[in-house]
Amino acid sequence: MKKILIIIILSFGMYANAQIIFEQDYDSASTINSIIYQGSNQLFLVNFELSGYRYVKINRWSKSIQIYNLNHSLLKTIDCSLLPGDQGQLRNFIYFSEQLFNLDSKIEFMYGFAGSTSYPSYYTGIYNEDGALLFVDTLGVPIVSVNSPQQQFPIYNTPIGAKMILSYPDGHAKVFSLPGTLTTSVAEANNILIAQSSLSNPYPNPVSNTTKVDYKFPDGVNEGELVFYDLQGKEVKRYRVDRTFETLLISTSDIAAGTYFYQLQTEKEKSAGKKMIVIK
């Protein structure tokens, strides 16, 4: 009986140690509406050169960035209220670093956008955590999907174990502790999968009647759907597409003037969102 009890306890211990465990809830951190920038926040992990792994939360609603330690305690807040935006909204933050853009110990990051109605229409700025502008270019823009690959995936290895970040429609993001480790082969396979699909900006844009969109499927995928949304996230158009042409001619005669976002959706993944402006 004693041996049986010991076996049961050991079995329970191994089972418990293999669980995915909820760790932390962050508000104003969900990227679930990432194709609609007004509702797009972010939570991800960055391995900084000097200080190591930190959680980075981009809150576009409050125009701020919060940096958290691995134990989820707040380390610092970066004010982004003076950064230029497209249509009054903050856009893409990439390459958070301590020693990429200069050699001090402060955090720096790249910020950029390509807008249609804003001035400047193109913007790339490199800032440090104090708000100092280290570099600016109003003619060039970093061409990325939404974020750099190391900062857009939901699973990360850290010194205290693998972490999974999920976004929720209520605006929250949650961190879970995983029992295993993300191997290089699995990470690379997912990086390749997401990088293989692409979606062009519409041309012309703004659109008065018709426009074209180019799309590219990842390897092994032959069909999908182009889905269009308004600013409230309501679906307004959906087209079934395949590899026959990889270009779609779109009529906007049946939708109202305004700003819309669209996305290529397949069985394997969803592309980053693109913006289309309709004028009448």
Q: What is the pLDDT of residue 129?
A: 96
pTM, to two decimals: 0.60
Q: What is the pLDDT of residue 64?
A: 94
Range in 95-99, 128-132, 143-147, 215-219 the model is least confident about: 143-147
Q: Taking CA 180 as the corner, what is the angle to CA 174 and CA 52, rounded to the nearest 5 degrees?
A: 65
- 169 CB burial (10 A radius; 0-12, 13-18, 19+): exposed
Give the model confidence (pLDDT) of 236-268 as tens digits: 999 999 888 888 899 999 999 888 888 888 877
Distance CA 133, CA 83 (A): 10
Instruction: Give SS3 for 2.
Output: helix
**Contact assessment for residue 246 and residue 215, using Cβ atoms and an 8 Å cutoff:** yes
- 273 CB burial (10 A radius; 0-12, 13-18, 19+): buried
Distance CA 112, CA 101 (A): 15
Percent of the chain predicted with pLDDT > 70: 77
Give the model confidence (pLDDT) of 20-47 as tens digits: 999 999 988 887 654 444 456 889 888 8
**Contact assessment for residue 54 and residue 75, using Cβ atoms and an 8 Å cutoff:** yes
- Provide mean pLDDT across the span 175-184: 83
Q: Among 89, 46, 37, 35, which residue's Cα sits nearest to residue 70?
A: 46
Percent of the chain predicted with pLDDT > 90: 23
* CATH architecture, domain defined by 197-278: Sandwich (2.60)
At 5, is the pLDDT very low, low, confident or very high (cuts 50, 70, 90)? very low
Distance CA 174, CA 165 (A): 6
Give the model confidence (pLDDT) of 117-167 as tens digits: 666 678 889 999 999 999 999 888 775 543 333 345 688 888 888 899 988
207 forms bridges with which residues in the sheet?
Answer: 278
Averaged pLDDT score across all residues of the chain: 79
The residues of the chain that CATH labels 2.60.40.10 are 197-278
